[in-house]
Structure 1
Amino acid sequence: MGVSNTTYNSVLMINADLEEVKKFRQRIMAIETGTPTPVARIEKRAAYSEEDDFLNKTPYKPISEIRDLIEKTVCVTIGVVKDFSPGKSWWYKSCNICPLAMREVGDGYKCSRCNAESQNFTPRYSLNLKVADEESYASFIVYETVGSEYLQISAEDLRTKHILRGGNRIEFPEELSKFKNKTFLFKVSVKLENINSFQPVSITVMKLCHDEAIISSFKQKYSIDQDAFFPANSDVITLPADYSDINKVFSG
Structure 2
Amino acid sequence: MENRLKMEVAKVSMLNDLNTFSNNYSIRVKIVSMSKKMMNENKNEIYRLDMIFMDEMGTMIQASCLHKMLGKFKDFLQLDECLLITKPSLAANKSFAKYTKRNDKISLYFYTSVEKCLDWSGPKYRFNFVNLKDVVKNKIEVNTVIDWTGYVEVCFNLEDTSKKDGSKGKRLNMRIEDLEGQKCPVTLWDDFAIDMFAYMNDKKRDKYVVILCHFGMVNLYRGKRGVANGFELSILFIGTDIEDISSFRKRYVERISASSSSNEHVGSNVISSVEDEFLNNPDFMLIGFLGTISTTKKVLVLGTITAICTDKLWYYNGCNHCKSSVEERFVTKENVDASFDVDHAKSLVCTNDKCEGVDIYSIPFKIPIRVQDSSSTVSLTLFDFEAYKILKKTAKELLAIQDQVVNSGEIPKPYPEIFDTLIGKRYAFIINVKDYNIEHQVENYGISMATNDDEILAALCAKFNLNQHEQSESLDVPDSCSLSTPVDLMKDEMSCSGDNVTPASKALVGNKNPSSDETKRNIREVCDVDDALGCSSTKRRMRDELSQDEDAGVSTLLIPKIER
Q: Would you say same fold, with TM above 0.5?
A: yes
Aligned counterpart, 2:302 = 78
Task: Give TM-score scaled by structure 2 length.
Answer: 0.33
User: Is the aligned partner of 1:68 residue 2:314?
Assistant: no
Q: Provide closer, same or farther for how the CA distance between residues 112 and 77 of structure 1 changes in structure 2, counting only shifts above 3 A.
A: farther
Mapped to 2, the partners of 1:24 and 1:212 lie a distance apart of 47
Mapped to 1, the partners of 2:286 and 2:423 lie a distance apart of 20
Query: What aligned pairs does 1:20-39 form with structure 2 within 5 A after superposition?
Result: 24-25=125-126, 30-33=213-216, 34-35=228-229, 36-39=236-239
The answer on whether the counterparts of 2:310 and 2:415 sit within 8 Å (CA) in structure 1 is no
- What is the Cα deviation at residue 195 of structure 1? 5.8
Aligned counterpart, 1:154 = 394
User: Is the aligned partner of 1:247 residue 2:348?
Assistant: no
The answer on whether the counterparts of 1:109 and 1:117 sit within 8 Å (CA) in structure 2 is no
Aligned counterpart, 1:238 = none
- What do the CA deviations read for 1:178-228 (whole angstroms, capped 9, x no partner)? 21111000011121326686x525411111111011101110110102556
Mapped to 1, the partners of 2:395 and 2:299 lie a distance apart of 26
Residue identity (%): 17
If asked which structure has higher relative contact order (CA below 8 Å, sep 6+), I would say 1
- Matching residue's letter, 1:144: D
SS in structure 1 at match of 2:381:
strand
Correspondent of 2:370 among 104, 117, 130: 130
Q: Provide closer, same or farther for how the CA distance between residues 46 and 158 of structure 1 changes in structure 2, counting only shifts above 3 A.
A: closer
Mapped to 2, the partners of 1:133 and 1:177 lie a distance apart of 19
SS in structure 1 at match of 2:289:
helix
Q: Provide closer, same or farther for how the CA distance between residues 145 and 48 of structure 1 changes in structure 2, counting only shifts above 3 A.
A: closer
- What is the Cα deviation at residue 159 of structure 1? 0.6
Q: Provide closer, same or farther for how the CA distance between residues 44 and 212 of structure 1 changes in structure 2, counting only shifts above 3 A.
A: farther
Superposed CA RMSD in Å reads 4.1
Mapped to 2, the partners of 1:172 and 1:128 lie a distance apart of 11
Correspondent of 1:176 among 419, 424, 441: 419
Q: Provide closer, same or farther for how the CA distance between residues 180 and 92 of structure 1 changes in structure 2, counting only shifts above 3 A.
A: same
User: Is the aligned partner of 1:164 residue 2:404?
Assistant: yes
User: Is the aligned partner of 1:102 residue 2:345?
Assistant: no
User: Is the aligned partner of 1:220 residue 2:468?
Assistant: no
The answer on whether the counterparts of 1:102 and 1:121 sit within 8 Å (CA) in structure 2 is no
- What is the Cα deviation at residue 169 of structure 1? 7.6
- Matching residue's letter, 1:136: S
- What is the Cα deviation at residue 103 of structure 1? 6.2
Runs of 5+ in structure 1 lacking a partner?
Answer: 1-12, 230-242
Aligned counterpart, 2:203 = none
Of residues 65-74 and 151-160 in structure 1, the stretch that sits farther from structure 2 once superposed is: 65-74
The answer on whether the counterparts of 1:186 and 1:208 sit within 8 Å (CA) in structure 2 is yes
The answer on whether the counterparts of 1:81 and 1:180 sit within 8 Å (CA) in structure 2 is yes
Q: Provide closer, same or farther for how the CA distance between residues 169 and 31 of structure 1 changes in structure 2, counting only shifts above 3 A.
A: farther
The answer on whether the counterparts of 2:370 and 2:378 sit within 8 Å (CA) in structure 1 is yes
SS in structure 2 at match of 1:93:
coil
- What is the Cα deviation at residue 72 of structure 1? 1.7
Q: Provide closer, same or farther for how the CA distance between residues 45 and 86 of structure 1 changes in structure 2, counting only shifts above 3 A.
A: closer
- What do the CA deviations read for 1:16-60 (whole angstroms, capped 9, x no partner)? 6799978635897624414443139xx999655211211114521
SS in structure 2 at match of 1:127:
strand
Aligned counterpart, 1:204 = 446
Mapped to 2, the partners of 1:67 and 1:18 lie a distance apart of 74
Mapped to 1, the partners of 2:278 and 2:326 lie a distance apart of 37
* Displacement over 3 Å in runs of 4+: 13-23, 25-29, 43-48, 103-118, 167-170, 194-197, 226-229, 243-246
SS in structure 1 at match of 2:527:
coil
Q: Provide closer, same or farther for how the CA distance between residues 60 and 112 of structure 1 changes in structure 2, counting only shifts above 3 A.
A: farther
User: Is the aligned partner of 1:51 residue 2:290?
Assistant: no
Q: Provide closer, same or farther for how the CA distance between residues 153 and 93 of structure 1 changes in structure 2, counting only shifts above 3 A.
A: same
